[in-house]
A and B are shown apart, each in its own frame.
Chain A
């Protein structure tokens, strides 16, 4: 599994997203650039210019028509993928830490930072997935997080719930239409921030990553913890692979937390766990800083990781990956065949 090294960013990566077809990779970093790359060869297709602050987050709509990005310049911007044109800018009082489209791309949520007297919020915007259409200025919904600020959030299946991960380690479920809080459950260790939340393809369950060195698989409807993956380092990101029942976790000791940072010390590896059995299966090394984000190709062919070191590493899985199977899985496959 020889990775493609994408060295287009000058500063730490913050998020990577594949489009639905798995042929494009969008990456954002603190260097104020959004890059789009061809997944199969790592060629850069282009960049999106306009943000004047570190970009924290990016998401692409399901038809690969538009992308949304959130930045420390307190804006969410909408871009035409093809032309690179900025279609719309929404301003907020604080930085935007996370954006996500719902399953049909008609709604966008944004998580805003708690700062300067403003509480953290989750806002919902109505989106027309059309590069020529006029986008509304109005926020459809604003959820204020007065307990502990939300760090990440996402849409469940049918856009029924908004699920948010909080700085205090808890997970909330809000009604997707009214924004009413349904549950708030302490999931991770108290005051260990949830750093990532990514969905299964059908958005019925999701995976969280936390500074408490664990990652958990949780149902969207009941917030029931299905699985727990234990790592030996604070986690920044976690993703669910398709085709194979794995999850990929990324993290590593932040440089400020260790006196002597060596590759060995930092644990800067992507870790593969079996989604169902919770066993660690393997690690992929290569980054020389903590992994800030990992993303799985929705078509199951590969994954990409972005590090504090400013590199994106795109990996295409090889035959061994697809052949690997637990005895019980093989048993079942043979039975079905």
Chain B
């Protein structure tokens, strides 16, 4: 049975022996039924008001109105403040809003708001007061809540223990309608762990630490994990389109193009407040929504008719700081809203106003700036030229909101922000135009975040347009792809160049200036994939009809180093070039040992399937699969070994590899033996079957009185007939062959 929201029960019910009428849902009905008495759900009760007399009443109402109108619409005559017999107010008022949503917003936002020094306003729904406040509705005696018995949960990280002890990685494949998770077996058929048809409706996704597999359905998102692949969490966001996790797997953002519509009968998890929202931020552990957001209507630049069309919703809209403490959203051109977790409250209750801001990016790791001891997270953002003000790239520290470094730039058409994975560097790729705005060039502004004062280094030796940039993970080298023409929608993409940069060698531990290492011209490549451990990089051509090269480079080649590179911290070597026709995606496994490339049926339908290469670029496995859609390596959490332990392992690598090599040969040998034995069995089986079949047929023939060979007699008869009819002929065929040919010209 396909796992989906249609089958919400844990038991594996079969649909056939499951009668809808028999299911008792009265308990659920009671629990979730939202009785919205028509007309009363727009009312709220404001409590804890100061006591006033008739004379002061209008001014209090006016004062109240100001507050009340911040969340919705109400009028003076819609506020009813009852007066006591003594002419004094009873310290509460009924307020009618124009809609139920506004009333709900009032309860959410105005409750517990101080009116003055003494009075803190309480705001409740009228229906709630009716429901809970009436006598007898609530039991006066306290009954302790029933605590569910403890159930041992499955180990969500059991996947890290490979049963064969080989430290293999897992991957998920989505092909046709089924999703399967496999152990990578290098050359051999991957070992299937679980395979389920219709596991997801649109795509699958691993959580960033590999704990959960996400499936996406019209009813919401489900997370699966543990050794038995049971459902761990459910996030019922209707018609969800996209999912993003926070880096530490604490929170989840779901987005749907369709605003949420809460049905009249209510929703089991979402409330009326979520109505009309597109984004929901969930707490993964409790699987409860924390806060929901509506989509920002962002208008793009005017088209030729001067009509501003709304831009596609950016994804990810909510960007997370490295430690899951903050999440931020950009309001293009205006501000960045930083929310603090776990409460999801706006930091300092106000968005950070940055005029013109185009993009921002959090540091992917908690930064360690020189001389800064206090806790901080960094993000960088950039603003284009506005009027006579230059364009600006700046780095802001959170929670202090202090701009720690800022850089003014001129003639900027576009900028892209690239953090290095340790947040040691930030490279801003700036596309600049000349004064006539005709030609374009790119400069790289590199912020050295860990150094005192965050110095900025400029690489301006690039004459062409940079179309792709990638830092070495955990390293300080980078690769760029440039092209002479700006990339337009042409049938044949222009030739590209691949350029490698690395820092110069310096004395001590200091890192030298970034220098050009090598440029490879006349390439078609358009994508860069670094090994997650650094050192190796695949430069590929993807989504291209004509070519599909994969170049595997080593930046610390152990062979001879050219004289010209002796001051460089890299020794570049092309290890191998592979070709995977129609490749659309490339992904390194988390250990940096293997590279998977695949041609997804989502992009085109030609030769769908995947290849697995080792880090050197040797192809290990090619498997064409019909309707192959998605491949994803299961991520691994960070290692638990300390720096020292890792160092020891590296030091003793030779010993380890000897052991592993012995194990590998043994395994391969035994596998070979198994294959040979299997073949022997097949051959024996076949021959035995043939023997029995031949005997059977011979018996049947004999029983029917037929000759053993049905045709032999016929042929004999025919030969005899022919021989009788005519003389035996001898057919001679003369073959001529020219052995040598010489031409002599006699003068």
A binds B: yes
CB distance B676 to A63 under 8 Å? no
> In the complex, what residues of B have CB within 8 A of residue A62's CB?
710-711, 714-715
Q: How far is the CA of A190 from the CA of B624 in the complex (A)?
A: 21
> In the complex, what residues of A have CB within 8 A of residue B689's CB?
226
User: Do A104 and B679 form a contact, CB below 8 Å, given A158-B704, A204-B693?
Assistant: no
Number of A residues with CB within 8 Å of any CB on chain B: 30
CB distance A276 to B711 under 8 Å? no
CB distance A104 to B714 under 8 Å? yes
Within 8 Å by CB of A103, from B545, B679, B686, B710, lies B710
State which of A68-76, A236-244, A312-320, A323-331 sits at the interface with chain B.
Answer: A323-331
Q: How large is the interface on B (under 10, 10 to 19, 20 to 34, 35 or more residues)?
A: 20 to 34
Closest chain A residue, CB of each to CB of B712: A62
Q: How far is the CA of A327 from the CA of B679 in the complex (A)?
A: 9
Q: State which residues 300-337 of A face B: CB under 8 Å.
A: 326-329, 331-332
CB distance A204 to B697 under 8 Å? yes
> In the complex, what residues of A have CB within 8 A of residue B682's CB?
276-277
Asked if B700 lies at the interface with its beta carbon under 8 angstroms from chain A, I say: yes
> In the complex, what residues of A have CB within 8 A of residue B487's CB?
none
Asked if B606 lies at the interface with its beta carbon under 8 angstroms from chain A, I say: yes
Closest chain A residue, CB of each to CB of B714: A63
Asked if A115 lies at the interface with its beta carbon under 8 angstroms from chain B, I say: no
CB distance A104 to B711 under 8 Å? yes
Closest chain B residue, CB of each to CB of A329: B683
Q: How far is the CA of A103 from the CA of B718 in the complex (A)?
A: 16
Closest chain A residue, CB of each to CB of B687: A332
Q: State which residues 90-141 of A face B: CB under 8 Å.
A: 103-105, 129
Within 8 Å by CB of A264, from B581, B693, B697, lies B581
Q: How far is the CA of A226 from the CA of B714 in the complex (A)?
A: 32
> In the complex, what residues of B have CB within 8 A of residue A158's CB?
697, 700-701, 704, 706
Closest chain A residue, CB of each to CB of B606: A265
Contact string, B593-629, partner A, CB cutoff 8 A, digits 1/0?
Answer: 0000000000000110000000000000000100000
> In the complex, what residues of A have CB within 8 A of residue B704's CB?
158
Shortest CB-to-CB span from A279 to chain B, Å, is 9
Asked if B694 lies at the interface with its beta carbon under 8 angstroms from chain A, I say: yes
Q: How far is the CA of A105 from the CA of B679 in the complex (A)?
A: 38
Asked if B566 lies at the interface with its beta carbon under 8 angstroms from chain A, I say: no
Shortest CB-to-CB span from A21 to chain B, Å, is 9
> In the complex, what residues of B have CB within 8 A of residue A329's CB?
683
CB distance B606 to A157 under 8 Å? no
User: Do A276 and B686 form a contact, CB below 8 Å, given A265-B606, A326-B679?
Assistant: yes
Shortest CB-to-CB span from A239 to chain B, Å, is 18
User: Do A332 and B711 form a contact, CB below 8 Å, given A63-B718, A158-B701, A204-B693?
Assistant: no
CB distance A328 to B694 under 8 Å? no
CB distance A276 to B683 under 8 Å? yes
User: Do A20 and B606 form a contact, CB below 8 Å, given A63-B718, A328-B680?
Assistant: no
Q: How far is the CA of A20 from the CA of B715 in the complex (A)?
A: 10
Q: How far is the CA of A226 from the CA of B715 in the complex (A)?
A: 32
> In the complex, what residues of B have CB within 8 A of residue A277's CB?
679, 682-683
> In the complex, what residues of A have CB within 8 A of residue B683's CB?
276-277, 328-329, 332
Shortest CB-to-CB span from B567 to chain A, Å, is 45
Asked if A228 lies at the interface with its beta carbon under 8 angstroms from chain B, I say: no
User: Do A202 and B694 form a contact, CB below 8 Å, given A328-B676, A328-B683?
Assistant: yes
Q: How far is the CA of A129 from the CA of B714 in the complex (A)?
A: 10
Closest chain B residue, CB of each to CB of A64: B718
Asked if A10 lies at the interface with its beta carbon under 8 angstroms from chain B, I say: no
Q: How far is the CA of A232 from the CA of B625 in the complex (A)?
A: 8
Q: How far is the CA of A76 from the CA of B700 in the complex (A)?
A: 32
Asked if A65 lies at the interface with its beta carbon under 8 angstroms from chain B, I say: yes
> In the complex, what residues of B have CB within 8 A of residue A160's CB?
700
Closest chain A residue, CB of each to CB of B711: A62
CB distance A65 to B710 under 8 Å? no
> In the complex, what residues of B have CB within 8 A of residue A258's CB?
606
CB distance B697 to A327 under 8 Å? no
Within 8 Å by CB of A20, from B607, B697, B700, B711, lies B711
Q: How far is the CA of A100 from the CA of B683 in the complex (A)?
A: 31
> In the complex, what residues of A have CB within 8 A of residue B686's CB?
226, 245, 276
Q: How far is the CA of A113 from the CA of B623 in the complex (A)?
A: 38
Q: How far is the CA of A245 from the CA of B581 in the complex (A)?
A: 33
Within 8 Å by CB of B711, from A63, A245, A328, lies A63
Q: How far is the CA of A103 from the CA of B706 in the complex (A)?
A: 12
Q: How far is the CA of A232 from the CA of B581 in the complex (A)?
A: 15
Q: State which residues 127-164 of A face B: CB under 8 Å.
A: 129, 157-158, 160
CB distance A103 to B711 under 8 Å? yes
Q: How far is the CA of A276 from the CA of B607 in the complex (A)?
A: 28
Contact string, B110-124, partner A, CB cutoff 8 A, digits 1/0?
Answer: 000000000000000
Shortest CB-to-CB span from A185 to chain B, Å, is 19
User: Do A157 and B697 form a contact, CB below 8 Å, given A63-B715, A103-B710, A103-B711?
Assistant: yes
Shortest CB-to-CB span from B486 to chain A, Å, is 27
Q: State which residues 667-702 of B face A: CB under 8 Å.
A: 676, 679-680, 682-683, 686, 689, 693-694, 697, 700-701
Q: How far is the CA of A245 from the CA of B680 in the complex (A)?
A: 14
Shortest CB-to-CB span from B736 to chain A, Å, is 14
Closest chain A residue, CB of each to CB of B545: A260
Q: State which residues 160-177 of A face B: CB under 8 Å.
A: 160
Q: State which residues 20-65 of A face B: CB under 8 Å.
A: 20, 62-63, 65
**5 closest Cβ pairs, A-B complex:** A62-B711, A104-B710, A103-B710, A328-B679, A276-B686
Not counting A62-B710, A328-B676, A331-B680, a sample of 7 additional A-B residue pairs whose C-beta atoms are within 8 angstroms of each other reads A104-B714, A158-B704, A158-B706, A204-B697, A232-B624, A276-B683, A329-B683
- Can you list 10 A-B pairs with a CB-CB distance of less than 8 A? A63-B711, A104-B711, A104-B714, A202-B697, A232-B624, A265-B607, A277-B683, A327-B676, A327-B679, A328-B683
